[in-house]
Structure 1
């Protein structure tokens, strides 16, 4: 594709004009030519809508300049996702899957032959790609996946067989990035992970079942039987090993969640403000009630923190940076901001009232569409535990057991820690039970988020929004740490049935 062709596809426009045109097209498709509420409450997406979205080449923001993309500039990709998610969170997730979980891994680890073919088809033929990692019996425990691959020397290709599920774009994607473990001559699976680019037009993937997912109706999910042959040139090449490559891919994706969350949170904030100003209760605007103001302040805080995360990723994570070791930043961003996405959706639902409890209302859709974000690409409970484990490991290595002393010297929290000299001034037990690790991780994730918010404040971002967000974050962190310090640990009763029926104790 030459420069003239790229210009005709609007790829070479400056980012402001590119996003403006894209935003106008989304508004036209979702608001003017279709009923947004009805369209997004129906499974799938009208083919012409997806076609017109892709005609604006939003995915070119993930493609390097040498392949006629926009340059794979992180800030541009995040801005595209934000523009998309303001109009449609599911559509933004679709763009995120294509970009962060397919195009970026291909750009970083693919061979030249594969990259040229894939990028050309994305730009010219509007192809889409997805990632298959999860298996029915191995969700979060991905390293034990049972999908295996063997190398065939005669055909210079890999035979891959297995079962995958919950892959977004099931039955739709033109390309798949599929993970598998090498099978030896005895049929045993190796420890390392391989990634393979599969062209769906070559067949070999049978959709056994389409899932009736609770939310995200726009995206098809299901169970896929894999029996494919992939040319050797379509295997990704890790710099060291497949596990570190997978960490880089997943961490990079988690670091880019703010692209999707910022637009969604801005929509929740705008919808809530508009409703509260227009709605009259008890003879006065809903906006004037103190409890309502607290919810609105939290919504504005969530949006500001998410913006700070976008700024962090946009300025610190270029495509060329390996993120395999950025676990604390990636896990903090993903877990905290997805908690905020769902909390914001719940708040909008509460403010709107009964009519929000409809699938064809923005509040109802937002609630069910945002919930999976706390689960996929790492359940938040697990990520909070991993944040604590990573920090405790660093503390052991530095021989520091006082949490405040360590956090004030840690690059991701050095400024934020100063707000918690008393709260964090305690010795940490390196061997914490899991529930304590999760609680501590929630606090640490928000401390990292606060550091990012302070850094955004230094740039000239709305100072009142920053100040408001710091207040909300301080309140959250103090509350979580208080819970963490509590020694109250309820247990689970296995045989709870004995003496647990209140009716038998009612005296006639």
Structure 2
């Protein structure tokens, strides 16, 4: 890694703190949490107490005004020990919070951001619908102004953290206006009349995704977060999310590599450590190289983002490569464990399951390739 890509001394200290907390507090319960699917509220509260959840929030609202790179390092480190806790933290330091910071009114910022920083407000972002996934512009949820309230009807699905969320960032179209221009975002408190969290779907990663139903849901006009150019602003936020999503899969790959390295140096077959076999050594070398290549792409995109939004080409490239890398590396780690890796006694099977989320959430690998290709074809010159 070049000097330009090295993390700062302050970031290094932050990583050391998170690593210690993850090893001592999060990792020991990771298997249990994965089995039950419970939201790791205790872990989130601890991160709030440490000031970690305020990394994306300016100091005047109770945060530490950190960078995208800070958030990447946090999620990467937590994911090495507990995927579900990393996913929970993503909701607090990711696109939801950054959207309120970037587009919220002063009243909205003062109302919500200090609570988020403390870990006292869990956020859920609602975009996906039963018939609308990658093609978000076709969403059917609609908000109609009636007096000083918007009346919202629609159904969202595959929503993380909905069962414990205090605030929903609901993407909807306004007044039935079709296409991208009609889409904006409302802030919906959990006790809002007409909002219901229904059926939950347990994922192979262990966490639950939920269905959120809005039936004549009444949202005050002052809760509009984004109205004009809502879809464009949404996509800007997701450029940053495309750095934070792969931060988790990178951490999973690194965690799985650590487990595989340890296992191969301890396990004996045919009278020698299996790490002495050239075939095993080559697998480890391949895994390490892929992890380092992914880290270079991701760190570049995150560092260039500063405190704002990531470049679309850099973020999509990092997400695509890192997500696919994590699937390969975690699978190789399991293979290196042999039959033991397939059991729940070892954490690698859990990491394989967790890694599979990355290429689906926040835009599939196929969507990322579309974005990359479009950017390349619209450029006069790349190199």
Matched residue, 1:170? 162
Match of 1:147 among 124, 127, 141: 141
Partner of 2:22, secondary structure, is helix
1:259 Cα offset (Å): 2.6
Larger radius of gyration: 1
**TM-score in terms of structure 1 length:** 0.69
Q: Does 1:211 align with 2:207?
A: no
Matched residue, 1:313? 301
Matched residue, 1:199? 189
Does the 8 Å contact 1:105/1:249 carry over to 2? yes
Q: Does 1:84 align with 2:78?
A: yes
Alignment CA distance shift 1:330-1:50 (3 Å): closer
Q: Does 1:229 align with 2:218?
A: yes
Alignment CA distance shift 1:382-1:320 (3 Å): closer
Q: Does 1:296 align with 2:287?
A: no
Bigger strand fraction? 2
Alignment CA distance shift 1:182-1:35 (3 Å): closer
User: For the residues of structure 2 that align with 1:95 and 1:206, how far apart are their CA atoms?
Assistant: 23
Partner of 2:55, secondary structure, is helix
Q: Does 1:123 align with 2:108?
A: no
User: For the residues of structure 1 that align with 2:210 and 2:349, how far apart are their CA atoms?
Assistant: 24
Q: Does 1:23 align with 2:11?
A: no
Q: Gaps (5+ residues) in structure 1?
A: 1-12, 399-408, 415-508
User: For the residues of structure 2 that align with 1:134 and 1:46, how far apart are their CA atoms?
Assistant: 23
1:328 Cα offset (Å): 2.4
User: For the residues of structure 1 that align with 2:39 and 2:284, how far apart are their CA atoms?
Assistant: 32
Does the 8 Å contact 1:104/1:319 carry over to 2? no
Q: Does 1:282 align with 2:270?
A: yes
Q: Gaps (5+ residues) in structure 2?
A: 1-8
1:360 Cα offset (Å): 4.8
Match of 1:249 among 220, 237, 257: 237
User: For the residues of structure 1 that align with 2:129 and 2:222, how far apart are their CA atoms?
Assistant: 25
Runs ≥4 residues deviating over 6 A: none
User: For the residues of structure 1 that align with 2:331 and 2:267, how far apart are their CA atoms?
Assistant: 18
1:331 Cα offset (Å): 1.7
1:359 Cα offset (Å): 3.7
Alignment CA distance shift 1:201-1:146 (3 Å): same
1:41 Cα offset (Å): 2.8
Alignment CA distance shift 1:47-1:103 (3 Å): closer
Please give the root-mean-square deviation of Cα atoms over the aligned residues, in Å.
2.3
Question: C-alpha deviations, 1:371-416, integer Å up to 9, x for none?
Answer: 121112222123223322332233xxx4xxxxxxxxxx41xxx3xx
**TM-score in terms of structure 2 length:** 0.90
Matched residue, 2:319? 334
User: For the residues of structure 2 that align with 1:365 and 1:382, how far apart are their CA atoms?
Assistant: 26
Partner of 1:160, secondary structure, is strand
Alignment CA distance shift 1:125-1:368 (3 Å): closer
User: For the residues of structure 2 that align with 1:111 and 1:276, how far apart are their CA atoms?
Assistant: 54
Does the 8 Å contact 1:22/1:56 carry over to 2? no
Question: C-alpha deviations, 1:264-291, integer Å up to 9, x for none?
Answer: 2221221111111111121121112222
Matched residue, 2:5? none
Partner of 2:115, secondary structure, is helix
Q: How many residues align?
A: 373
| Structure 1 range deviating more: 346-355 or 83-92 | 83-92
Q: Does 1:375 align with 2:374?
A: no
Does the 8 Å contact 1:176/1:197 carry over to 2? yes
